[in-house]
């Protein structure tokens, strides 16, 4: 078991009143949450997003990335849909942690791109793990997803865990002059889809 369920509560937000479910990794004590809205029962695919923690973008309004914009748009989309789930995973900086992320940002200030900065610090370009998503979805009784992402690796990772991702929903928000190079690097080096469309293929 990657994570164990701890407790749930109501979470009023500007986008709607969600249910917040807490999970913990038994081996590390690392905590993750899922926000759900509406009835998730039945075979109808559930609008979903897996969102890795980005303190700078999610809480401090950083314009160096598109993370905070994607988080807000995902919650808005779930609210419009009337049902859905957002899994918020505590793996800052594509898994390298907050202080190393600051070090990586410093290297980017010197001219490195986001992938080069991670590699100069001795890390892979992306260390994120999505194993916990399977346990979270199983606990909440969710079987099929319409996944909001621009990242093909995320789609393939979830499918590799046996999660039925039936559709990929594009999530293109937050482009600005401060993150143009960041987005271009995600497209050229990490294979992200940056065109505006929806599809049902990885």
Report, as residue numbers or ranges, the catalytic residues: 126, 128
| Ligand-binding site membership of 31 (annotated) | no
Specify whether the CB–CB gap between 35 and 86 falls below 8 A.
yes
Does the annotation list 81 as a binding residue? no
Strand blocks (E) in 53-193: 84-89, 144-148, 164-169
The response to whether 51 counts as a known ligand-binding position is yes
Q: How far apart are CA 127 and CA 133, in angstroms?
A: 15
131 is in an annotated binding site: no
For residue 65, say whether it is annotated as part of any ligand binding site.
yes
Residue 9 marked as a ligand binder? no
Residue in 148, 152, 153 with CA at minimum distance from that of residue 173: 148
Report the alpha-carbon distance of residue 171 to residue 64 in Å, rounded.
17
Q: Which positions make up the binding site for Zn(2+)? A: 54, 65, 67
Q: Which positions make up the binding site for GTP? A: 49-53, 70, 92-94, 114, 149, 154
């Amino acid at each position: 078991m990657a994570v164990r369920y701890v407790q749930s509560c109501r979470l009023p937000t500007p986008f709607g009143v969600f249910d917040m479910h807490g999970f913990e990794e038994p081996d590390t004590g690392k905590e993750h949450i899922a926000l759900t809205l509406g009835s998730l029962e039945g075979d109808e695919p559930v609008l979903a997003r897996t969102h890795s923690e980005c303190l700078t973008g999610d809480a401090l309004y950083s314009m160096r990335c598109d993370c905070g914009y994607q988080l807000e748009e995902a919650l808005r989309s779930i609210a419009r849909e009337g049902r859905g789930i957002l899994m918020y995973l505590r793996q800052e900086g594509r898994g390298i942690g907050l202080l190393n992320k600051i070090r990586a940002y410093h290297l980017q200030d010197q001219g490195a791109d986001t992938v080069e900065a991670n590699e100069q610090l001795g890390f892979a370009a992306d260390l994120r793990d999505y194993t916990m998503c399977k346990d979270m979805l199983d606990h909440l009784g969710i079987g099929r997803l319409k996944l909001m992402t621009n990242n093909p690796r995320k789609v393939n990772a979830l499918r590799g865990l046996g999660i039925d991702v039936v559709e990929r929903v594009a999530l293109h928000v937050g482009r600005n002059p401060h993150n143009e190079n960041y987005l271009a690097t995600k497209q050229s080096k990490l294979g992200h889809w940056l065109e505006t469309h929806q599809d049902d293929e990885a």
